């Protein structure tokens, strides 16, 4: 059964709340209410509304001021402005700021319901188009709409048509194999095989045979000839996960295959030609491995023609509600449960937790909660203990050591960490970082230079793939 649309009402008038709750409830809508701008912004992540009814005059900030922040959270979220201070100027200003429609008070019930139906239908069509486009583009399994993930998606789509090898860098659990599979689906090789290999799971003495195959009698136990994964991946893609764990002697043979596009089976003499694109992945700094002599420099550059860096989940927290809802739908359906969502406290805990295991850990936490849930919502008590502990722990307060400290230096250090974090979250784009910090771009730029902060390079424009050959 289709779940009712959730409508967030941001207005400080209790009477209006009661009227809209009754009016919309009678039409099957679920309503949540906020009386201030700050509470309304907080509820965007907690309740994931399908539409917002927003008053322009709020106690703490104006509705026009928070409209851009609402759309930064969800660019496609329709916002209908309702206000007693109706004028042509405010109507035009609200529409320019991104409002879907403008209704002055006092309003007619039928007019409000009509506009809401139109806005929700537009929202449904937009979501359907996005879903279909992602399926067509091969990104259906990857969830994210944060600025950093959008840059990853764009780089994936630009890199996929090329023949060049790709290196995916990211912490464990960030979804490197999902990205590799999506690139394969987007590439001209999509009709060919996608062959994954987790190199760290194969003993080094068996890895060469696994990659290149062997002939009968090549070693003890080789009772028959066997082809390797390079042959299995011919005309397709070979995904080498944790490529940094490959032993040096096998690295040399892998380099030769990349250069010559041919190899010999273990114990064999006949060269075998293949056409394979390699997508490698690592959760370690391969440049450091090269510097310390554990990874071949020439192989590193052969694999790292195009580099895609996946941000850890703690660096794209705005994607956590979206991912949690995605996994909730999957596991609720799999376990034949009807679960409406997360309580505000549970969503707060999910968003606050650092997720050292990244997306994989979040998926496991949601699956656990769905299995244990006996009601219609998932509360904090159903989350794993580390997530609950993170929600219960108060934020760490600054402490003055017994020997004292330099106050100005401590403040500057805190400013550096805040700015650095904002730059990392936005891929080094100062304009976006300034919005996160609620500073003007000029002020942020001045602070970066004054505090001696090494800027994070902007990810857009990097790693441009060569044209398809």
Q: Is residue 329 part of a domain?
A: yes
Same domain, 335 and 239: no
Indicate whether 376 pLDDT > 90. Answer: no
pLDDT given at position 2: 58
Same domain, 15 and 107: yes
Q: What is the CATH number of the domain that holds 340?
A: 1.10.8.60
Domain span holding position 209: 147-311
Same domain, 387 and 416: no
Beta pairing class for 306-309 and 166-169: parallel
pLDDT given at position 394: 44
Tokens matching residue 179? 């990205």
Same domain, 349 and 449: no
Q: What is the CATH number of the domain that holds 10?
A: 3.40.50.2300
Least confident of 207-216, 298-307, 424-433: 424-433
Percent of the chain with pLDDT over 90: 43
Same domain, 86 and 41: yes
Q: What is the CATH number of the domain that holds 307?
A: 3.40.50.300
Same domain, 115 and 218: no
Indicate whether 465 pLDDT > 60. Answer: no
Percent of the chain with pLDDT over 70: 88
pLDDT given at position 177: 94
Pairwise pLDDT comparison (234 vs 85), residue with the higher score = 234
Number of domains in the chain: 4
Q: What is the pTM of this model?
A: 0.60
Q: What is the CATH number of the domain that holds 421?
A: 1.10.10.60
Same domain, 290 and 156: yes
Last residue of a domain, one of 258, 289, 311: 311
pLDDT given at position 129: 63
Which candidate, 142, 148, 187, places its Cα nearest to that of 164? 187
Indicate whether 223 pLDDT > 90. Answer: no
pLDDT given at position 455: 58
């Amino acid at each position: 059964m289709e779940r009712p649309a959730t409508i967030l009402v941001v207005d400080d008038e209790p009477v209006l709340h009661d009227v809209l709750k009754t009016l919309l409830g009678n039409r099957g809508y679920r309503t949540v209410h906020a009386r201030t701008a700050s509470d309304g912004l907080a509820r965007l992540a907690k309740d994931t509304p399908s539409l917002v009814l927003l008053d322009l005059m709020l106690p703490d900030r104006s509705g026009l001021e928070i409209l851009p922040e609402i759309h930064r959270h969800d660019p496609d979220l329709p916002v209908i402005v309702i206000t007693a201070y109706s004028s042509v100027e405010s109507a035009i200003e609200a529409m320019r700021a991104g409002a879907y429609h403008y209704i002055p008070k006092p309003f007619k019930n039928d007019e409000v319901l009509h506009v809401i139906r139109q806005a929700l239908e537009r929202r449904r069509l937009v979501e359907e188009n996005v879903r279909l486009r992602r399926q067509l583009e091969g990104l259906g399994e990857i969830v994210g709409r944060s600025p950093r993930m959008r840059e990853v998606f764009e780089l994936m789509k630009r890199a996929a048509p090329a023949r060049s090898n790709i290196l995916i860098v990211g912490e464990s659990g960030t979804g490197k194999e999902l990205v590799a599979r999506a690139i394969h689906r987007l590439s001209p090789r999509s009709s060919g095989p996608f062959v994954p290999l987790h190199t760290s799971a194969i003993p080094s003495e068996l890895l060469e045979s696994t990659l290149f195959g062997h002939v009968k009698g090549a070693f003890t136990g080789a009772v028959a000839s066997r082809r390797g994964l390079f042959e299995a991946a011919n005309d397709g893609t070979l995904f080498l996960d944790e490529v940094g764990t490959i032993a040096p002697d096998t690295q040399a043979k892998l380099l030769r295959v990349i250069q010559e596009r041919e190899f010999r089976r273990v114990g064999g003499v006949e060269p075998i030609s293949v056409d394979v694109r390699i997508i490698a992945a690592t959760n370690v700094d391969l440049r450091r491995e090269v510097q310390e002599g554990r990874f071949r420099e020439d192989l590193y550059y052969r694999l790292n023609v195009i580099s895609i860096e996946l941000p850890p989940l703690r660096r794209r927290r705005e994607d956590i509600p979206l991912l949690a809802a995605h996994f909730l739908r999957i596991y609720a359906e799999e376990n034949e449960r009807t679960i409406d969502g997360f309580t505000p406290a549970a969503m707060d805990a999910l968003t606050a937790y650092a997720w050292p295991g990244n997306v994989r850990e979040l998926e496991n936490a949601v699956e656990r909660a769905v299995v244990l849930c006996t009601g219609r919502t998932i509360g904090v008590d159903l989350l794993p203990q580390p997530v609950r502990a993170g929600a219960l722990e108060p934020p760490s307060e600054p402490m003055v050591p017994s020997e004292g400290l330099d106050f100005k230096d401590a403040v500057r250090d805190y400013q550096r960490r805040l700015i650095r974090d904002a730059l990392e979250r936005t891929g080094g784009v100062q304009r976006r970082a300034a919005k996160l910090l609620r500073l003007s771009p000029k002020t942020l730029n001045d602070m970066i230079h004054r505090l001696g902060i090494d800027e994070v390079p902007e990810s857009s424009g990097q790693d441009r793939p060569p044209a398809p050959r």
